[in-house]
Every structure is written in structure tokens, then in C-alpha cells.
Amino acid sequence: MHGLILILIVSLFFGGIVVKTKSICAGRKGPGIFQPLKDIWRLIRKGAVFSETATILTRIAPSIYFASVLLAVGCIPFGNVRGLLSFQGDFVFFAYALALGKFFMIIAALDTGSSFEGMGASREAHFSMLAEPAFFGVIGSLALYTGRTSFLDIFTYLHFGNYLSYALGSVMLIILVILTLIENSRMPVDDPNTHLELTMIHEVMVLDYSGFDLGLIQYTTNLKFAMYAALMANLFTGTLRALPDILIFLGTGFLLAVIVGGVESFTARLRMGRIPQFAFSLTSYALLLFLLVLFITGRFS
Amino acid sequence: MKAIILILFAISLLNISISNRLRGFARLLTLQGFLLFVLAFIQLNEVTILNLVFVLLETLVFKTIVLPLFLDYVIKKNRITRETEPYVPYFVSLLIVTVIILASFIIVQQIEGLSGNTLFFIVALSTIFTGLYIIISRKKLITHLMGYVVVENGVFILSLAIGNEMPMMVNTGILIDLFIGVLVMGIFVNKIGDVFQEANNEYLSQIRD
Amino acid sequence: MDEIALKLLPLVVAMLLGSVLIALVETKLKSLFAYVVLVIIVIGSSVPAIRALAGHPLEVIIKNPQVFGDIPIRIDALSGWFILIINLTMLTGGFYGIGYLKAYRKENTNLSLHWILMVIFHLSMLSVCVIQNGLLFLIAWEIMSLSSMLLVIFEHYKPETLRAGLNYLVQMHLSVVLLTLGVAGLYLQTQSFDFSSAMQLDNAAILPLFILLFLGFAFKAGFMLGFIPLHTWLPHAHPAAPSHVSGIMSGVMIKIGIFGILRMILLFPLSKTGYLEIIGWIILGVSLASGLYGVMLAIIQHNLKKLLAYHSIENIGIIGMGIGLGCIGLGIDNPYLSAAGFASALLHTLNHSLFKSSLFYAAGNVYRAAHTLNLESLGGLFRKMPHTALLFLLSALAICGLPPFNGFISEFILYGGLYQGSLHARPVGALLLILTILGLALIGGLAMLCFTKAFGIVFLGKGRKPLPESDWQEGPGNLIPLYVNSGLILAIGLFPATFVKFLSAPLALFIPNFNLSFFNFELLDNLQQVSRATVGLLAVSLIMLGIRYIVTHRTVQEVAPTWGCGYNGGAERMQYTATSFVRMYRKLAAPVLLVHRKNVEFPEIFPHEKRTYETHPEDALEANLIDIPIDLMQRFLSFFRFIQNGKIQNYLLYGLVFLFLIGLLSWSKLI
């Protein structure tokens, strides 16, 4: 339960910190930290315009997307307190619940019958497919390192004893950060501020949404960020007590937001044809990580 | 610590497989040289001080600084920036290099009596094969040269693995480095880029008997 | 025991009589009568099957010392599971067929033949599951192949249907050849046709016989064995057959191949050879390749049914992965691995028959409404057939393995087994298992790409080409089978523990010293938790929809044209097509695929005439390994065509020449 509340808290200010970081890096003062939240609140109360080709799927997709992300959030433990759901193999449920949300967003994009959304849907389907195995590889390495197969068990038994495991943790962290960037369609995969449809990936899928649905989708993006931040924070909380854990959670959320803002300010988007290689190289890194874990746990002959 | 450096080295191999900008490739070679420098410093703790200093100087000065500088100069002088479309698309290259690393892992697992040097052997084997693969699948001459540098980085790792027992092997590895340096200097001095307008290997096949 | 045989025999004879009587019923009631016969067979066979699953296997031995030897008929838990799957799919398929074949009312004899063959097909599949006498098994198998082939070529006036049927027949007979060799080998070694005598084989004979029989069954199942491209019958036969036959074939007939493999694993004492683990690894590797290949080719297909057929190859791969994992578990004596592997394989067999047959029925509805299955011409069918669209969506979500549906459950069990295996295996084994996990994740992602394309292009957006008028309506006849399947899909996904409990009897067959409480603890309790997760997912979605309704039903909701960046004309033709949706994938996977492109370049800025761009996907293995050799063989043999020129005088001449040569050779004592 604590984990869920903390993630919700982090999601409230995450978007704002990203925007603020980008503004400061660009030399401006920028809007307040809660401005994106105010935008979402305003959107939720507005009416909506739907495309005439859209069917009921467009109406229900954002809600199912939000529900799937919420269920995935429920799997994440907080230190050694279990999340709402915890069972052997819950990381499989985590990944596939997120995939359910993505599926609905993709077909809702095809629902509008516009070439822009079709393009975005196609790209989103491809990039998330290529980044998917990386997550399973990272979890496989963690499972091999700790000898456990559920989120709660893995994070409870994760000790960083020698410096080798710290290196392991940092490589895992880097892979998770890049995975976050790919899954949430940020730079260097997608520029959320571009207004050219030909270069959009996620933004163009939600081009025909308005009102409550758009607000829900924007909030879900923040929630997904907070979820990945929680996952990363869990790498380091382990068996600490409650107060340091909370601080680490909030701190990781804050740091991740700053990193995302920094990456967005200082990098350019990759050429579209390079993104599949970028996404798939994560899987190769995860495999190397697995080999490293095999080495650390002394299973080499 | 050695394990981390070797894994970082393997990561640089993956990045080489998808690099299409030549300066990026050269920077990856710089990174590899630096990693080898640190690795040599940690690993060779039983050789004489003179030998150690020689090896470290060679790695640092030659592999990390001089060779990439020469490569940069050749690249700038001949105004080539990107690799031409290779025989194998980049995505497939990434897959193949991953398979090379995994295959060398499986092969090395079958060998007995490696006395703790398994990771060295794995990374060395994958580096050598990756370098050979780069030479096979790319078109520009300069990339062939850089692929050869990768190959002998791999040979250097192999020699480091047994460097404590047989320091002469390390010195032999350094000699190969110097050979590469001479080759690059040859290109630089003789301005081979002026003679071959295209820096591809298509015309090379015309000079066969 | 003989009383039961005496009771079964009149039942079987009545069934056969009933099937022939179908021909005599008048056209309007023909389908219904046939369906009634099917239902009776279902009821008759399900009773012993359910008893077997509950732990009371049935064994009847019919004495027949002359030709066959003893004919044991054994219904154990494995047969029971498969019998139930067969019956369920025949029920839904037959029901769908009644509605589907209404359009063919005029073809009286064709219809009678079709329904008679349907009953015979059903009976033969059931017989294959229970007969354990090698010779009779082969006869039943042959009847099954022939009847299914004749069912496929229902529309025999179309040449490509005939060609697909013949292709199917030839490849099925290759599998029959292998099976015959296996059974003959068994007989030679043990002097008995009884399958259970395989237990007494000595070590040297076990492995070759097992391989022969395994290959025979694998061809039937549609595994992609790479250098032996004998999966190519699937993508031709399924689109050619009428939809209910495709659904039944994809739903259960290829599972008979899986049944055969599982039966072989049970019967042959492979643990004696010590090769069991290696066999498990090989099966795992072949299945992973088959799964990847199937889905990689499914993505670029234009024909909806061909897409679904290639996807069946992928799901057979997933089932095979479960079998492989189970064999590895048996080989290294890890009960959790074997339980997880075989449980996921058996469960996925049921799941696949549910959602694949459902998808084929929906495709049949699409064909009835639009008279084409070409994805490039379809679009916007949601308005015309909302029920079919939503049920197609449900099955598509299930087939991608997404929660809260049943596909997720079987893949979840498989993941659990693979992860547990990687924790305890040797380093190389752990690496191979992690690669399998990555492969499974990739297969899931590719399946998502495939089915977002299939569902999105067919049902959503606007129609891409004008379609002929059709007065077909959705009705109970073509929706009830979909609803029944979907209900089960949802039930298995939401309450997996109740369904997996039925697997304890079949699992006990595979795993020696099966510990029921261990099974309950490891698998079932975990699945209870999974059930909480899937039910939670469904509940939270519904709650969110409720919240959405409460918040928005008082606000203004307008409908306007899709945003077209200032230009709204020609919107149907400007939509993303199926080819463009997967274009990035086609470029990435180009080395494996074989796609013919026909396009003309535009030299000028404003082209004068209409330009076209076409892509035709082909199966690279089929083109290179089957078409080219057949082409070469035909060209070689055409040189000898002059021999068979139809003139009787020439044939008489050949006879005389032969006699003369024989006389010459035997006079010179050469022969």
C-alpha cells in the first residue's frame, strides 16, 4: 500500500520537474512544478470531440490503458513491504499488463482512420516490441543473482556486498533508464515537443483525443514514469527502514525527472532508422548483464 | 574490477557493430584503448617494473591517443564521414555480434583448466571474431583498418590473461600495435586517399592478376 | 471388460449408420441432423473422458488374434484431455458450419458428403486418441488425413483449393510414411502392435524409433523444422478450406500431432537411454525457431486466413516449448520444471483451440460480409459487425498472451518454469534458457504487432476499397460459437486454478512420483494469486470506465471529421494500409522473409498515369526448398515425356523390347 501511495505522489510532480529542468537548461524560468497537474485537472473537466470514424474503442482505450498501468504499479513492492499483488513470476504480469495498455492505445490510434495515427501506431508497436525482451533479460539477471522469482523476493534479497554487485546495479540502472526513455517515448527516441507529425511517435497517437481522455493519458504517462522510478529505487532500498526508504523513493523520482529533462535538453532525436538498433542493443546489454551475473555467482567452470 | 572492465569492453563491441559514423568508431577505439590501459595496470602485477611501465605507456600513448589521432587525421583529410551501406544491414550486424559473444561464451565453457581466466578468454575471442566480422562486412578501407585494430585489441587481452606468466607475449602484442601504427602512417604519409578517389574496396579487386 | 466392448460396438455402428443417413435427409435439415449426430458422439465420448480426468482411466482390450493382435483401447487422462478439446471444438465448429454452409444450399451431394465426412473425421480423431494398437492406429490416422483433406476441398471447383488439398495430402502422407516405419520398427522389435510393449524395448532401438515417430507427428502438428519445410501445408490448406473447417483443423487437428508426441514421450522409456535431457533441449530449440518463424511470416501476410494459419505454427511452437521444458525437467529430475512445462503445453493446447477457432469463425464472418479476405481491401467493418469485431478483439488479445485472458496463463506457467530452470541449470543451460525467455518475449511482441495490424486494418478506420453489397447479417448462428469460446477464454483467464486443477491427472502420467500436494502448492496456489491479478485488472478497468461515464456524461461530446492537418479529402486511400503498418518490420527482417515487390518509379513530379505498388509475401523456405527442387525435377523429367505419348503401338513395342532384353540378358547369364 505504501508503495502505491508513494508512486502516486511522485507522479504528481514528475511532469512538472521535467518541464522545469528543461526550462532551466534553456535559460528560462519555466512554469511551476504543478502546472502539468493543473493542465490535467482542467482537461478532465472539459467536453470532448471525437472523430466520426472512431468507434467505442476510442472511448474505452484510455481508461483501459490507465487501469493496466495502475495494476502494473500494484505489483511493485516498497522495500520489503509487498505491493498489492505479489506472487512468483509477478514481473511477467507486470510486463504483459503494460503490453495490454499499449495494445489498446495502438488500436485506438488505428481507429481514427488517419494516416498520422497509423504511422504513430506502427512505430510504437515496433519500438515497444524491440525493447520488450530487455526487461525480461534484466529481471532474469536479477533473478539469477538473488535466486528468487518475484519482485518482492528479489528486492528483499538483493544485497550489494562487493563492488562487483555495485557495478551490476549501475549497469542495471542504466539499462532501466534507457528502457524508461523508450517506453515513455522521450528523447532520444521521440521528441514530445515536436509539432511535426512525421517525426512523432507517441504524441501523434493521441492527436484525436480531447477532454477527459486526453487528461487521463497525460496523467498515465506521469504514472508510468513514477512506476519506473519506483522500480529503480527498489534496487537500492532493500531492507532499510521506512523513513530512509521513503526518502530514497522520492529522491529517485526527483533524480529521474531531472535526468529525463537533462537528456531532453541536450540530445537530439535519433534518426528513425537507428531507433530499432538502439532499442535492440538494450537486449544485448541485458544478455551481457546475464553473463556478468553468471560470472559473479561463480558459476563459471 | 577486471570483470567490469571486460564487460564494458564487450559493450563497446556492441556499439561498434552499429556505428556508422567513422569518428564515432574512432572514439570507441579510444575507449577500448583506455580500458585496456586500466586492465593492464590491474592485471600485470607480477612483472618487472620496467616491463610494466613499457606496457602501460604503450597502451596509453599508442592505443588511446596516437592511433585514434592518426585515424581522425586520415578521416578529416579524405573527407569521409560515414560508412557506406554495408553488405549486412546494421540491425543484423547487432544480432550477429551478440551471437558471436554468446557463442564464444559457450565455446569457452567447454574448455577445461582455464584457472579463472574464463572471462578474459570469452571477451578476447569475441573481440577477435567481431573485428574479423567488421572487416568482412564493411566496405570502406578505413573501416577495415579499424576492424584490424579491434582484432589486435582482442589478441592483447588474450596476452594479458597470461601476461603474468609469460610477459613476452604482451610484448609481442605491442609489436603488432606498432605494425598497425606503421600501416596508418603509411596511409597518412603516402596519402593513399589521393590515389584512390573512392575509399571503397571495389577498385582493389581490380588489381588482381 | 468385454461387456463394455459389446456396449461400445453398437454405439459406433449406430454412429456410422447415422452418418450415412445424412445423405438421405432433405437439404434444409441436413446440417441440423448431422449436428445432432455430432452431439450424440460428443456426449458418448465425453463421459469416459471426464471419468479419466477424474482419475478413473478406462481400458478395454478387444481380442482379435488374426490380423491386429489385441486391440487395446485405453482412455487415460491424456486421451481424456484431448477428447474433451476435440469435442468442444467440434461442437462450436459444427454449429458455425450450419450457418456458414447455408449459402451452399444448392449443392446437395456436396453438402451430404461434407457432413458425412465431418462425422467420420470426428470419429477418426477420437479413435486416434484412444486406440493403442499400432496397425489400427495407422488406419485411423489415415482415415483422419483423408477425411480432413476432403473437407478442405469443399469448394473443389476452384483450382487453388484443389491444389492446396493435394499439397496437404502429399505432406500428410510423408508423415504417415514415417509413422508406418516407426510402427513397423516397433513390431519387428517386440512382435506386438500394442503400444505399451514399447516399454520393453532395449536401448539401441528406443532412440531411432522415437525419432521416426516424433518426426511423423511433428509434420502433422506443423512444426517448422527448418531444413525440412513440411509446415508449408498449413498456410495453403487453412485459407482454402471453409471457415468452420479451418477453425476445426487449426483448433484440434494439428493438436493430434501434439497428442502423438506426448503419447510417444509417455510410452517410450526414454529415461533409460539417458538422452532425455538432450531431446528436451532439441525440442525446445526447434519449437523456439518454429514459433519465431511462424509469427515472423504471419506479420507480412495479406490474406487474413493465411495470417492466422502462420500464427498457428507459432502457437504450436509455444506448445512445443512447454513439451521441451517438460522433457528437460524429466531428464534432470526437477519436478517443478516438468510440471510447469507439461502443464503449460497441455493448457496452451486447450487455449489455442479456443481462441484460434474463434478467430477463424470471425474471419468466416468477415468473408461472408465482404467477400474478400485481402487486408488491403478491408477496413471499417466494425460498424457492420460490432459483435464479431469485439469477439475478434478478445481472441486477438488472448492469442498475444495478454491478461486477463487464457493465453496469459499458459505463457505465465511457461515463463515460471523457464525462470526457475535458469536458476539451477549449468551456465550454458542457464544462458540457453534466458535466450528462450527473450525469444518468448520477442514472440509476444511480434504477435502484438501482427494482431494490432489484423484487427486494426480489418475492423477499424474506413473501408479501403469499395466492397460488393452483401445482405449477410450477424446472427446467433454465426455468433454463438464465438461467444461460447470467448466465455471460456475469459473464464480460464480469470479463474485459472479451477481449470489447471484438471491437469493434475495428465501430469501424474508424465512425472514419476508425482506429488499432488507439491503440485497444489507450487502451481495452483500461485495461480490463485494470478487470478487475483487478472480479476483485479478487469475490475479496475470497469471501475475506470464507470468513473469516466460519471465524469463525462454531462459534458458536451461532439463528433467531427478526423483531423487531417488541413486536408480531409481521400481519407480512405490515405489511411495506413497493412503493408505500411509493418514496413519497418519488413525492412528489419528482410534476410528471413521473401517479399516480391512490384512498383514503378516516379520519374516526374506530377505523374500522368496511375501508379501501383504491390507486395506479395512468400514463404522463403517453401520457395527455395520445395518449389525450386520441384521445378528442377519437372524440367528433368520433361525430357522423358516422349515415352508416355498415348499410342498403344508404342506401349506394345516397349513390352516386346523388354522381353527381348530379358531374354538376351538371361541367355548371357548376366541376371
Cβ of residue B186 closer than 8 Å to a chain C Cβ? no
What dihedral do alpha carbons C641, C645, C651, C656 form, nearest 10°? -60
Q: Is the pLDDT of residue B194 over 60?
A: no
For the segment C292-312, what is each residue's pLDDT rounded down to a tens digit? Answer: 988 998 998 889 999 999 999
Q: Is the pLDDT of residue C544 over 70?
A: yes
Please tell me the predicted confidence (pLDDT) of residue A294.
Answer: 85
Question: Which A residues 139-178 touch B at CB under 8 Å?
Answer: 163-164, 167, 171
Mean pLDDT computed over A179-188: 88
Nearest Cα residue to B127 out of B109, B111, B104: B104
**Residue in B94, B118, B119 closest to A281 by CB:** B94
Closest Cα in chain C, distance from residue B88 (Å): 9
Mean pLDDT computed over C329-334: 84
Query: How many Å is the Cα radius of gyration of chain A?
Result: 19
For the segment C637-671, what is each residue's pLDDT rounded down to a tens digit? Answer: 988 888 877 777 888 888 889 999 998 888 887 76
Q: Out of A148-157, C373-382, C545-554, pick the least confident.
A: A148-157
Amino acid at the residue C32: L
Q: How far apart are CA B72 and CA B23, in angstroms?
A: 7
Three cell numbers at C539? 475490475
Q: What is the 3-state secondary structure (H, E, C) of chain B?
A: CHHHHHHHHHHHHHHHHCCCEHHHHHHHHHHHHHHHHHHHHHHCCCCCHHHHHHHHHHHHHHHHHHHHHHHHHHHHHHCCCECCCCCCCHHHHHHHHHHHHHHHHHHHHCCCCCCCCHHHHHHHHHHHHHHHHHHHHCCEHHHHHHHHHHHHHHHHHHHHHCCCCCHHHHHHHHHHHHHHHHHHHHHHHHCHHHHCCCCECCCHHHHCC
Q: How far apart are CA C478 and CA C500, in angstroms?
A: 30
- Yes or no, beta carbons of C559 and A112 under 8 Å apart: no
DSSP string, A204-242: GGGTT--THHHHHHHHHHHHHHHHHHHHHHHHHHTT--H
CB contacts < 8 A, B to C, total 15
What residues in A contact C556, CB-CB < 8 Å?
Answer: 47-48
Q: Is the pLDDT of residue C401 over 80?
A: yes
Q: What is the 3-state secondary structure (H, E, C) of C276-287?
A: HHHHHHHHHHHH
Sign of CA dihedral C223, C229, C230, C231: positive
What residues in B contact A289, CB-CB < 8 Å?
Answer: 7
Q: How far apart are CA B119 and CA B107, in angstroms?
A: 12
- The residues spanned by each domain of chain A are 16-25+48-296
Q: Is the pLDDT of residue C3 over 70?
A: no
Q: Out of C112-116, C330-334, C336-340, C510-514, pick the least confident.
A: C510-514
Please tell me the predicted confidence (pLDDT) of residue A17.
Answer: 92
The domain containing residue B100 runs over which residues? 2-207
User: Greater confidence, C580 or C395?
Assistant: C395
Mean pLDDT computed over C354-360: 92
Q: Out of B166-175, C4-13, C308-317, pick the least confident.
A: C4-13
Judged by DSSP in three states, C73 sits in strand
- Yes or no, beta carbons of B14 and A285 under 8 Å apart: yes
Closest Cα in chain A, distance from residue B29 (Å): 19
Mean pLDDT computed over A200-219: 88
Please tell me the predicted confidence (pLDDT) of residue B196.
Answer: 47
What dihedral do alpha carbons A104, A106, A111, A116 form, nearest 10°? 160
Nearest Cα residue to C442 out of A136, A81, A224: A136
For the segment A50-95, what is each residue's pLDDT rounded down to a tens digit? Answer: 888 888 888 899 999 999 999 999 888 887 777 788 888 889 999 9
CB C268 within 8 A of CB C287: no
Does an H or E element contain A50, and which? strand A48-51
Output helix, strand, coil percentages for chain C, rounded to the nearest 5.
75, 5, 20
Q: How far apart are CA B194 and CA B186, in angstroms?
A: 13
- Yes or no, beta carbons of B11 and A288 under 8 Å apart: yes
Q: How far apart are CA C405 and CA C403, in angstroms?
A: 5
DSSP string, C605-630: SS-SS---EEEEEE-HHIIIIIIHHH
CB contacts < 8 A, A to C, total 260
- The residues spanned by each domain of chain C are 274-551, 640-671
- Yes or no, beta carbons of B91 and C435 under 8 Å apart: no
pTM of the predicted model, to two decimals? 0.90
- Yes or no, beta carbons of B114 and A301 under 8 Å apart: yes
First-to-final CA distance of chain C: 57
Grid look-up 489484423 returns: C454
Name the β-bridge partners of C594. C618
Cβ of residue B18 closer than 8 Å to a chain C Cβ? no
Q: What is the mean pLDDT of chain C?
A: 84
Q: How far apart are CA C406 and CA C344, in angstroms?
A: 11
- Yes or no, beta carbons of C529 and A53 under 8 Å apart: no
Please tell me the predicted confidence (pLDDT) of residue B195.
Answer: 46
Closest Cα in chain A, distance from residue B183 (Å): 32
Q: Out of C287-296, C342-351, C589-598, C603-612, pick the least confident.
A: C603-612
- Yes or no, beta carbons of A288 and B15 under 8 Å apart: no
Q: Is the pLDDT of residue C55 over 80?
A: no
Sign of CA dihedral A194, A196, A202, A205: positive
Buried b (16+ CB within 10 A) or exposed e, C226-249: eeebbbbbbbbbbbbbbbbbbbbb
For the segment C128-144, what is each residue's pLDDT rounded down to a tens digit? Answer: 888 888 888 888 899 99
Does an H or E element contain C53, and which? helix C27-53
What residues in C contact A88, CB-CB < 8 Å?
Answer: 416, 526
> What ipTM did this prediction achieve?
0.93
**Residue in B15, B114, B119 closest to A295 by CB:** B119
What residues in A contact B101, CB-CB < 8 Å?
Answer: 284, 287-288, 291
- Yes or no, beta carbons of A92 and C412 under 8 Å apart: yes
Q: Out of C77-86, C224-233, C471-480, pick the least confident.
A: C224-233
Sign of CA dihedral C184, C185, C188, C191: negative
Closest Cα in chain C, distance from residue A196 (Å): 10
What residues in C contact B92, CB-CB < 8 Å?
Answer: 591
Q: How far apart are CA C52 and CA C76, in angstroms?
A: 5
CB atoms within 10 A of CB C11: 13
Mean pLDDT computed over B134-148: 84
Q: Backbone phi, then psi, for B144, in 5-degree steps?
A: -60, -40
CB atoms within 10 A of CB C623: 14
Please count the CA atoms within 13 angstroms of the CA of A116 that sit on its side-chain side: 21
Q: How far apart are CA C245 and CA A30, in angstroms?
A: 64
For the segment A247-291, what is each residue's pLDDT rounded down to a tens digit? Answer: 888 888 899 999 999 998 898 888 888 899 899 999 999 999 998
For the segment B79-104, what is each residue's pLDDT rounded down to a tens digit? Answer: 776 777 778 888 889 999 999 999 99
Please tell me the predicted confidence (pLDDT) of residue C104.
Answer: 77
Give percent above pLDDT 90 in chain C.
20
CB A279 within 8 A of CB A270: no
Mean pLDDT computed over C268-277: 76
Q: How far apart are CA C375 and CA C360, in angstroms?
A: 15
Please tell me the predicted confidence (pLDDT) of residue C321.
Answer: 93
Q: How far apart are CA C81 and CA C129, in angstroms?
A: 10
The alpha carbon of C396 is separated from its chain's Cα centroid by a whole number of angstroms, namely 16
Give percent above pLDDT 70 in chain C.
94
What residues in C contact B91, CB-CB < 8 Å?
Answer: 588
Q: How many domains does chain B have?
A: 1
Closest-CA residue of B relative to A293 is B3
